[in-house]
Amino acid sequence: MRYLVTGAAGFIGSHLAEALLAGGHDVVGVDCFTDFYSTETKEENAAALEIVRLDLAECDVGDLLLDVDGVFHLAAQAGVRTSWGANFATYLHHNVLATQRLFAAAAAAGARVVFSSSSSVYGDAAVYPTREDAPTHPISPYGATKLACEHLAEVYGTSFGLDVVSLRYFTVYGPRQRPDMSFCRIVEALATGHPYTVYGDGLQSRDFTFVGDAVTANLLAMEHAPAGAVYNVGGGSESTLLEVLDLIEHIAGRTIDVRFTDAEAGDVRRTAADTARIRRELEWRPEVALEKGLAAQWRWFAERRPLETVG
């Protein structure tokens, strides 16, 4: 099989592309290497891949889909806190416009799409664990763009027969995690002895999902999910940020200098996924518990740079 992976030089996309290659598939990797974080980091992620540098919002997407059996669409401008104000134009470009153009081309080509959405579409949910049929009330512009993309999936499915499956990720972590994400900032603080800033009181909780489990969800969705399905992808490891800090200190045998500041707009208080649907329909199960996954992320980071002496 031949697959297109968008965002293939990113965190989840690079892991997914490698898994497809290991499974004997042909992979067309696309990434536009935005400046959200360093190009060098993305080049390191994609060292084992062949990547075409293109902007989906501007290129001829139809050409990318020639002889492609399916599309894993992970390309997006990420980040809740940076999606406000003038930055929103960037999110419209890379999330909404790029996705609309990809969906249109995939519908015309008859290619199945597995779209990477986000738990951010729920906002501060009324019920936990949160099911896929819960009301969607995003509280950040980033979440609003992801929900807009899900609506585009419905529109193109209804009007043009697009075969699309949407996966709502719950806080994916692990090796290659984006530098702006909490766990990456935590392990960097551990390695360097620099302070780590907690936005809020640290009692906010997330349902953390190891990257390998997210990759498996993508593969199963492409192979087995019915068209139009929407699935939560959550690791079942809901923990507060303070609990995570205690756990990673234990794993690393080092202490973090924690500083507290005000919570930021768009940050939800809690996420917890009801994963009954994906377990039942795709027989997906999260395999990596939080402690094991955090240890893997710590080892990955520590192997890439020397640890500084912490007094």
pTM of the predicted model, to two decimals?
0.96
User: Three-state DSSP class for 109?
Assistant: helix
CATH 3.40.50.2000 fits 2-173+209-233, yes or no: no
Element (DSSP H or E) covering residue 196: strand 196-199
Per-residue pLDDT of the chain (311 residues; tens, 9 = 90+): 999 999 999 999 999 999 999 999 999 999 999 988 888 999 999 999 999 999 999 999 999 999 999 999 999 999 999 999 999 999 999 999 999 999 999 999 999 999 999 999 999 999 999 999 999 999 999 999 999 999 999 999 999 999 999 999 999 999 999 999 999 999 999 999 999 999 999 999 999 999 999 999 999 999 999 999 999 999 999 999 999 999 999 999 999 999 999 999 999 999 999 999 999 999 999 999 999 999 999 999 988 876 766 44
**Residue 139 structure tokens:** 């509280």
Q: What is the CATH number of domain 182-206+236-270+288-304?
A: 3.90.25.10
Tell which residue, 307, 300, 225, 303, has the closest CA to residue 11: 300
Helix (H) or strand (E) holding 27: strand 26-31
Q: From CA 20, how far away is CA 53, in angstroms rounded? A: 19
Query: 3-class DSSP state for residue 199?
Result: strand
Active site residues: 142
Q: Enter the DSSP assignment of 120.
A: G
Q: Where are the domains of the chain?
A: 2-173+209-233, 182-206+236-270+288-304
